[in-house]
Structure 1
Amino acid sequence: MCEGASGTELDAALVAPRPALGDAIDPIGLEPVDEVIVTTLVDNVYDALLQGDERTTRVSFGVGLAKAPQFEGGETAVGLRAEHGFSALVTVRRDVTTTSLLFDAGLSPDAMMVNADRLGIDLLGVQGVVLSHGHFDHVGGLAGLATRRGGRSLPMVVHPMAWTRRRLAVPGADPLEMPTLSRRALEAEGFAVVERRQPSLLVDDCVLITGEVDRTTEFERGMPAAHEAWTGSGWRHDPDVVDDQALVVHVRGRGLVVLTGCGHAGAVNIVRHAQRLTGVSAVAALIGGLHLNGPAFEPVIGPTVEALTAIAPSLVVPGHCTGWRAQHALAAALPNAWTASSSGSSYRVDAA
């Protein structure tokens, strides 16, 4: 989830950045690919009037029909669903081999599947699932995917802390406990769960899952005091959301494509971590939630935009929990890179 109250100086001290300067001790040999396409299956926004370009494909109202007796002919055109959640399909091509992975699954049990069906995407063809973290607005659609698959096995990469019980305890309101992901239930539905804290290479070493992200900036301090985790004996502040991880692909001659779910580790921390792990400095694209929405995170917008401007990604598609203030700031600072996110949009990066 992506909201909460402001924390204290003590809370900030608890998440002071760890030094992680220089090259990675154990660099990752991420093989370059010829093309990557990221299709946003679920996002907070659906805009049927957005226009595409040479790197972005959009969809309008012509993605399906629904019965509606109020219209002549008894049908009406429908668009795609938008909700406070995120899901993306990542399709990677290397030579003649193409592989697809599902990155997160949105909030509700059916939105991801409804959107995929309307887009003509058969999610039965995905080779695996990657979860950015365990928050329920990124995993709810797994129920719909499991029903469609009928129990057939599918690999799933998660951080071992994705099963953590969490709640929002905003002062003056009753605590709201979030739905907690169940490993037992997922395995019963056919998901072959692989837990990893460290970086993982998938798809013949062409896709990197970062594992835990080094927190090195001075301004990305994590979640405010209202975000709590169950320790087994009580609730305590959970600033880190340590299970937060990103997906990274290296497009030959272009640089890294970095896909985030919420970016709880901090957008700049995540990009720099990917650069350190791979030894690749150029960033071709940054796509996904950047977690800059709400009073606890708006003070971070300025230094985040400044750092991302210095990194100079060729394409920036902030979605989900980024927030309108950060969207405006990023669009102003990176006018040639910034692109609006919307459910159903596809973003393509080709090799140079």
Structure 2
Amino acid sequence: MSKISLIFYWVFFAVLNLKASEYEITVLATNTANFGGIGEWSFSALLESDDEKILFDTGFNENTVLHNANLLGKDLSQVEKVILSHFHGDHTGGLIKLRKTFKEINPKAFSTVYVADGFFEQRYDENGELRGFIGGFNDVDNFLKETDDLGIRFVILKEPIEISKNLYLSGPVERIHERVVVSPGFYLKKDGLLLDDLVLDDQSLGILTKQGWYMMSGCGHAGMINTAQKFKSIQNRDVIGAIGGFHLFRSSDEVVTKTALALKEFGLKQLVGGHCTGIHEARKIADIVNIQNKNLSHGAIGTVVTKDLKILRSSVE
């Protein structure tokens, strides 16, 4: 065989072996559990590349992510970067326990945490009493003292940032195209007045794959359309996939249809819902967008999106 032929075959098979994404995604916390996992009202997902592991959200109860990771054979000791989608306790509850568990094994484990601007705003209940809900703390100052003592460093984002190769955080998302999802029972205080908390610290993650954006949200309080548009403003590519919580459960048909039509226009091909997305709502979006069943899952503990964007252990199939 000639050298030219060898080069051709090498290039051909190298192209075949290219993965669509640098990152494999594994769901570690959500409402639905299989195979002995702990299910709860929360979200967490592990992103793994050839070079690093990153955790997106940390679940509600402090032991949930630890239990489910151990069950799935996932070693979290090398996780150094953490993304918290917003301040709610069902996304921040495991952070401190995870840091305590792994810091002796790896001093950098769970030491760098990315949050969006507004994350540390003190929240109150309807009576004006402290209600932080951050990682089980009502008082934000107490939470900050505990995390500081543990050597956790927070990076507060006001705009999008690339934190690893082809891995972007949206930072705060402008509320332009859809209704604002408030945070019931949580208020901000300004000039002695209690104001609805609009969860302006809500942020999402975007993986820039070879086909386009694959976005991940914890609750999607900023809105699925707004979030997708935010990533398109970073680089104008299709939004081909979405995973996580998108706060569409109990939404009106009008809202779900509007969301679905926008996602269809954006080029959505795969949806892995979970947490607060809603099974009925995810199914309706899939029907409108014409997503194949193999590319639709409501997600459960252990659901995986591979680097070539295949869903494993799908709850739909």
Q: TM-score, normalised by structure 2?
A: 0.79
Correspondence for 1:112 among 65, 79, 82: 65
Q: Does 1:214 align with 2:174?
A: yes
In structure 2, the partner of 1:274 is 231
> Contact between 2:131 and 2:186, CA under 8 Å: does it hold in 1?
no
Q: Secondary structure of the equivalent of 1:327?
A: helix
In structure 2, the partner of 1:12 is none
Structure 1 residues without counterparts, runs of 5 or longer: 1-31, 49-60, 62-78
Q: Secondary structure of the equivalent of 1:127?
A: strand
Distance 1:176 1:309 in 2: 42
State the 1:330 CA deviation: 2.0
State the 1:141 CA deviation: 0.9
Distance 2:20 2:51 in 1: 10
Correspondence for 1:233 among 184, 192, 216: 192
Structure 2 matches for 1:299-318, cutoff 5 A? 299-318=254-273
> Contact between 1:35 and 1:348, CA under 8 Å: does it hold in 2?
no
Q: Does 1:177 align with 2:131?
A: yes
Q: CA RMSD in A?
A: 2.6
Give the aligned residue type for 1:311: F
Distance 1:347 1:34 in 2: 10
Distance of aligned partners of 1:168 and 1:122 in 2 relative to their CA distance in 1, 3 Å threshold: same
Q: Secondary structure of the equivalent of 1:319?
A: coil
Distance of aligned partners of 1:225 and 1:130 in 2 relative to their CA distance in 1, 3 Å threshold: closer
**When the two structures are aligned, how many residues end up with a matched partner?**
277
Distance 2:20 2:261 in 1: 29
- Give CA-to-partner distance per residue, 1:199-239, whole Å, 9 cap, x none: 12112x4211111112221x332217754223473421122
Q: Secondary structure of the equivalent of 1:262?
A: coil
Distance 1:193 1:270 in 2: 22
Q: Alignment identity in percent?
A: 27
> Contact between 2:23 and 2:306, CA under 8 Å: does it hold in 1?
yes
In structure 2, the partner of 1:291 is 247
More helix by share: 2
Structure 2 matches for 1:55-204, cutoff 5 A? 61=35, 79-92=36-49, 97-150=50-103, 152-153=107-108, 154-167=111-124, 169=126, 177-181=131-135, 182-203=143-164
Q: Secondary structure of the equivalent of 2:249?
A: coil
> Contact between 2:28 and 2:46, CA under 8 Å: does it hold in 1?
yes
Q: Does 1:42 align with 2:29?
A: yes
Q: Secondary structure of the equivalent of 1:98?
A: coil
In structure 1, the partner of 2:202 is 244
Structure 1 stretches of 4+ with a deviation exceeding 4 A read 173-176, 224-227
Give the aligned residue type for 1:216: I
> Contact between 1:187 and 1:193, CA under 8 Å: does it hold in 2?
no
- Give CA-to-partner distance per residue, 1:173-210, whole Å, 9 cap, x none: 9999352352222121221211121112112x421111
> Contact between 2:269 and 2:291, CA under 8 Å: does it hold in 1?
no
Distance 1:326 1:305 in 2: 10
Q: Secondary structure of the equivalent of 1:208?
A: strand
Larger RCO (CA within 8 A; separation ≥ 6): 1
State the 1:284 CA deviation: 2.9
Give the aligned residue type for 1:242: L
State the 1:255 CA deviation: 1.1
Distance 1:90 1:39 in 2: 7
Give the aligned residue type for 1:196: L
Give the aligned residue type for 2:263: L
Distance 2:123 2:63 in 1: 23
> Contact between 2:240 and 2:266, CA under 8 Å: does it hold in 1?
no
Correspondence for 1:262 among 219, 227, 236: 219
